[in-house]
Structure 1
Amino acid sequence: MVNAFLGVWSLHASENFDDYMKHLKVSIAQRNVAKALHLDTLISKDGDAINIETKSSFKSTKIQFKRGAESDETTAGDRKTKILEDGKLVQTQQWDGKETTLVRELKDGTSY
């Protein structure tokens, strides 16, 4: 399953991202910067570990994890991340009693 995700992915569309950031109480300045960024995500494997590196001109992040195992991630909000597998790459971030989930899914060779 993971092999289908390997490679470089570019963000082409983002729906309701501003509302999502408002819900998380992200400042207007930070929201404007985030909405203007062009993101590229590199997904690779190193043995049985998966690497997800997100690059932008503002800030880049990288996480390495093993499928089905909880893994700490360094994010701007110091959130802890758990990666799960269910025919998709699902990343659940938890911090301060809040939770958000990022789902990476392929449909007809296109990432969603």
Structure 2
Amino acid sequence: MEAFFGNWKLVSSENFEEYMRAVGFGEEQVQVGNIVTPVISIYQDGEKVVTKLKTSIISSENSFILGKEFDENVAGKQYRSVVHLDGGKLVNTRKWDDKTSFLTREIQDGKMIMTMRCDDIVAVRTYEKISEVD
């Protein structure tokens, strides 16, 4: 789990627009989401893991205990989520309405690779570790 801790800045993105549409974001949010460069901070706070998302437009924060369901808010969208470790990967299952999406984070060559899947749409975003958040 410790390998995920730190600040991560987006450096590449593939098929993110289609993923955002698949999870129900409107076209304006899709366009904004595709141009901002988020920084994700992940750290431990007691028994909870905290994730903070920061862009030039929005910020959000969520905390969870591995394996326990929690309410997650991402860019104004509400999910019922659970996160667990699976073979060194951090897997987040998000449910809302009648849909489910999966976010899998893994560390490869010092980068955090986040693969997002909803229905048959798959997006991949790559993050590099940075020392500080602007």
Query: Against the structure 1 CA distance between its residues 36 and 71, is the aligned structure 2 distance closer, same or farther, given a 3 Å change threshold?
Result: same
Instruction: Name the amino acid aligned to 1:17.
Output: F
Paired-residue identity, %: 34
Residue pair 2:71, 2:78 contacting (<8 A) in 1 also: no
- Tell me which residue corresponds to 1:60: 59
| 1:26-105 equivalence runs, <5 A | 26-75=25-74, 76-86=76-86, 87-105=88-106
TM-score (norm 1): 0.90
- 2:66·2:82 contact (CA, 8 Å) conserved in 1? no
Q: Deviation string for 1:15-73 (max 9, x for gaps)?
A: 11112223334322221111111100000101221111111122111111111111211
Matched positions, count:
111
Alpha-carbon RMSD? 1.3
CA distance in 1, matches of 2:24, 2:4: 31
The structural deviation recorded for 1:108 is 2.1
Please, which runs of 5 or more residues in structure 1 have no aligned partner? none
Instruction: List gaps (5 residues or longer) in structure 2.
Output: 114-134
Q: Structure 2 CA distance, aligned partners of 1:67 and 1:30?
A: 29
Q: Counterpart amino acid of 1:110?
A: K
Provide closer, same or farther for how the CA distance between residues 25 and 67 of structure 1 changes in structure 2, counting only shifts above 3 A.
closer
Runs of 4+ more than 6 Å apart: none
**Take 1:51 and 1:25, find their aligned partners in 2: how far apart are those partners?**
25
Where is the strand percentage greater, Structure 1 or Structure 2? 2
What is the alpha-carbon distance in structure 2 between the residues aligned to residue 28 and residue 88 of structure 1?
31
Whether the 8 Å CA contact 2:52–2:59 is kept in 1: the answer is yes
Q: Which whole-Å CA distance do the structure 2 matches of 1:28 and 1:48 have between them?
A: 38
Q: State the TM-score, normalized to the length of structure 2.
A: 0.76
